[in-house]
Chain A
Amino acid sequence: MTDLLNLAGDFPLLDRTVRGGKPLVYLDTGATSQKPAAVLEAERAFNSRHNAAVHRGAHQIAEEATEAYEGARAGVAQFVGADFGEIIWTKNATEGLNLVAYSFLNATLGRGGAEAERFRLNAGDEIVVTELEHHANLVPWQELAAKTGAVLRWIPVTPDGRLDLEQLDVISERTRVVAFTHASNVTGAITDTAPIVARAQEVGAYTVLDACQSAAHLPVNFAELGVDFAAFSGHKMLAPTGVGVLYGRRELLEAMPPVLTGGSMVEIVTMESTTFMPPPQRFEAGTQMVAQTVGMHAAVDYLTGIGMDKLAAHEDQLAGELLAGIAEVPGVRVLGPSSTQDRLAVVAFDVPGVHPHDVGQVLDDQGIAVRVGHHCAQPVHRAFGVHASTRASAGVYTSSSDIQAFIAGLHQVVKFFG
């Protein structure tokens, strides 16, 4: 048993009540996390003291704003084991994943010159995804395949909700891209990335990691993982909405054509043509979400202050409490691994005969916030033979008493609809 963290007091929102005075039990961190006061304050301080256009103008406040913005980049880079120039700000993970797909499309259209030829996709090339993906790491690749004539293939999911690593031969000499999740937002399974990365490297395919759930809950080092690209969202890791990150290995980013074009990302513009800045600016067209990046900096500082190892241990224990509690509710089936081994405290489940909407409603009536629906991952639900599920997910501020309240609520659900 590890000592659990006790940090709910840092999160102003968790103080509130819902549905007529019931204390809030927030178990929807997998969808979006609450923000500590330190993050809210960092954003407020930036806006009230240092707000100006970054990378433009020579006045003092513009310099302060630029330093805050680039300082945030450095902070986040360090947090995920990347170099400063390998971190591109995006609006969220979805945008980051699309950025890679669209840049490859532009390369296929001949943009980016000879350097970008390596990203060109031809008819008959293959893109490999997985059945476990969030739609954000599936649909952009379907689209890229449809536009380029590439063929989409996928790694299937095992009955306990993990990637089936016995099936890695779907990655072949024809594979150009392997896009896969680091941790599932439905089954909670943490991917053993090494064999996938090794297989992709063997055939010369680019790897794209969806690190949305992992970066928020585990120590993550992209350089050590050896992936080419990775994307995650600030709002799932205590930072504000409107900011996310695309990580790309520098050598690749340097060769990739831009996606959004316009101000802030150009060198010389004539009426006929334009040259582009090096990365990361090449991929950051237009005025950016500066205050949110500052908030994200504060979030990674907060997480670093706790220690991602401690956070992972905290959540591992909560995952165990969730799984043990759910196992005692008659009939309920967990969609995902039944042990905490390589698993996040993200637990989706099916209550036979009771629709997830109804499960969520009865829980909500007791002040317990969970996610219901397909969680933007329809294929993995189909693999489990269900349409939708209910999901409880924990975070840095979650306590054992939150889990107990939820389990009691789940017993209520079964009683109410039984």
Chain B
Amino acid sequence: MEQLYQQVILDHSRQRSGEGELQAPDGESFQVNPTCGDECTVQVTLAEGAIDSLAWTGKGCSISQASLSLMYEMVHGQPVAEAEQLGETFRELIHNRGQELDEEKMDLLDDLGAFTGVGRYSARVKCALLGWMALRGALAQAQPTQA
């Protein structure tokens, strides 16, 4: 159990970063997990190719909430391209059946590496990725307005 629920995950599911709503988001995406009805909304504003602000709201399990909280900490203020790359790497990790990725990727993932064990439980994959799906949607919506 402790392998799945790493301390980082438990901490972030209790003390969540980035929860809230933006006044005028450039992009926003709502995602639901149809098996449990968990949901989240991620909003972003962009400035000069970077995520200027990010906020999220949602209901869900500790895995999904911690994933959103850590996502907030790691991508707000970052260039969009880097955030997208981090998202891709995280997806790769979660789909890796509980195995770590190569060292370079694990370095990139940093604290997100705590989610490695989630990949062993196929029913929880969607929990870990829900927020990141919303981020991808929000960024896609925000970018045309930047062009």
Spell out A's residues near B (CB within 8 Å): 354-358, 361-362, 365, 372-374, 378, 381, 387-388, 416-417
**Contact between A361 and B121, CB atoms less than 8 A apart:** yes
**Contact between A388 and B38, CB atoms less than 8 A apart:** yes
How far, in whole Å, are A373 and B35 apart by their CA atoms in the complex? 7
How far, in whole Å, are A381 and B38 apart by their CA atoms in the complex? 13
**A355 and B37 in contact (CB under 8 A), knowing A362-B1, A416-B1?**
no
How far, in whole Å, are A358 and B124 apart by their CA atoms in the complex? 10
How far, in whole Å, are A378 and B63 apart by their CA atoms in the complex? 22
**Contact between B61 and A378, CB atoms less than 8 A apart:** no
Binary A-proximity of B107-147 (CB < 8 A = 1, otherwise 0)? 00000000000000101100100000000000000000000
| Chain A neighbourhood of B63, CB < 8 A | 357-358
* Majority-rule SS of A interface residues: helix
How far, in whole Å, are A388 and B35 apart by their CA atoms in the complex? 10
**Contact between A356 and B36, CB atoms less than 8 A apart:** yes
| Chain B neighbourhood of A354, CB < 8 A | 62
Min CB distance A229 to B, Å, is: 28
| Chain B neighbourhood of A361, CB < 8 A | 1, 4-5, 121, 124
| Chain A neighbourhood of B36, CB < 8 A | 356-357, 372-374, 387-388
9 further A-B pairs in the complex, CB-CB below 8 A; given A357-B124, A361-B4, A387-B36: A355-B62, A357-B36, A361-B121, A373-B37, A381-B37, A387-B37, A388-B37, A416-B1, A417-B10
B: contact size bracket: 10 to 19
**Contact between A378 and B62, CB atoms less than 8 A apart:** no
**Contact between B62 and A416, CB atoms less than 8 A apart:** no
| Chain A neighbourhood of B37, CB < 8 A | 373-374, 378, 381, 387-388
| Chain B neighbourhood of A362, CB < 8 A | 1
At the interface, yes or no: B79 with Cβ under 8 Å from chain A? Answer: no
8 Å CB interface, B1-58 against A: 1, 4-5, 10, 35-38
Q: Which residue of A lies closest to B62 (CB)?
A: A358
Q: Which residue of A lies closest to B4 (CB)?
A: A361
| Chain B neighbourhood of A381, CB < 8 A | 37
| Chain B neighbourhood of A355, CB < 8 A | 38, 60-62, 65
| Chain A neighbourhood of B61, CB < 8 A | 355-358
8 Å CB interface, B58-72 against A: 59-63, 65
Min CB distance A371 to B, Å, is: 10
Top 5 A-B residue pairs of the complex, sorted by shortest distance between their CB atoms = A355-B61, A357-B61, A373-B36, A374-B37, A365-B1
Q: Which residue of A lies closest to B3 (CB)?
A: A365
| Chain B neighbourhood of A387, CB < 8 A | 36-38, 59
Pairs A–B under 8 Å by Cβ, sample size 21: A354-B62, A355-B60, A355-B61, A356-B61, A357-B63, A357-B123, A357-B127, A358-B61, A361-B1, A361-B4, A361-B5, A361-B124, A362-B1, A365-B1, A372-B36, A373-B35, A374-B37, A387-B36, A387-B59, A388-B38, A417-B10
